[in-house]
Amino acid sequence: MDSVEIESRMRELIKPIDEAIMYCDTREEILMLASVMLTRLRIIYDNEIGEVGRKEMFRGMTE
């Protein structure tokens, strides 16, 4: 895939997430959605690149 194809695919993949955000009626629901998304994200990264890879990927972002 070239960069144009990647960008197009990423726009397609974000649509359900944007729709889920639109279903949220309150700040609390948005925060709940964000929390479950972070949990799922961690699982995906751990399964695909391992815990060490995930930690390396985000090193420095939380410091």
Q: What pLDDT, on the 0 to 100 scale, is given for residue 63?
A: 61
Q: Residue 61's pLDDT is what?
A: 76
pLDDT value, residue 24: 97
As a dihedral over the C-alpha atoms of residue 55, residue 42, residue 45, residue 18, rounded to 10 degrees, the angle is -120
Instruction: Give the residues of the chain that fall short of pLDDT 70.
Output: 62-63
Q: Is residue 31 one of the residues assigned to a domain? A: yes
**Could you tell me where the DSSP H helices lie in the chain?**
3-23, 27-57
In a domain, 62, yes or no: no
How many domains does the chain contain in total?
1
The whole-number pLDDT of residue 60 equals 77
The per-residue pLDDT for 37 is: 96
Q: Is residue 63 part of a domain?
A: no
- Tell me the residue range of the domain where 39 lies: 3-57
